Chains A and B, each alone.
Chain A
Amino acid sequence: QVQLQESGPGLVKPSQTLSLTCTVSGDSISSDPYYWSWIRQSAGKALEWIGRISSDGRTNYSPSLKSRVTISADTSKNQFSLKLTSVTASDTAVYYCARLLILSAYPRFFDPWGQGTLVTVSS
Chain B
Amino acid sequence: QSVLTQPPSVSAAPGQKVTISCSGSSSNIGSNYVCWYQQLPGTAPKLLIYENNRRPSGIPDRFSGSKSGTSATLDITGLQTGDEADYYCGTWDTRLSALFGGGTKLTVL
Contacts and interface: CB of A to CB of B under 8 A. Distances in A.
B50 A46 contact: no
Contacts of A111: 46-47, 50, 56
Nearest to B32: A106
A62 B97 contact: yes
Contacts of A110: 35, 37, 45, 47, 90, 98
A21 interface: no
Interface size class of B (residues with CB under 8 A): 20 to 34
A76 B98 CA distance: 28
Contacts of B90: 47, 109-110
A106 B98 contact: no
B51 interface: yes
B44 A114 contact: yes
A47 B96 contact: no
Interface stretch (B13-21, B22-30, B68-76, B99-107): B99-107
Interface string B60-100: 00000000000000000000000000101010100111111
Contacts of B88: 47
Interface of A: 37, 39, 45-49, 60, 62-63, 96, 100, 106-116
28 contacts: A37-B98, A46-B103, A47-B37, A47-B45, A47-B88, A47-B90, A47-B100, A47-B103, A49-B97, A49-B99, A60-B97, A62-B97, A96-B45, A106-B33, A106-B92, A107-B33, A107-B92, A108-B50, A109-B33, A109-B35, A110-B35, A110-B37, A110-B45, A110-B98, A111-B46, A112-B46, A113-B45, A115-B43
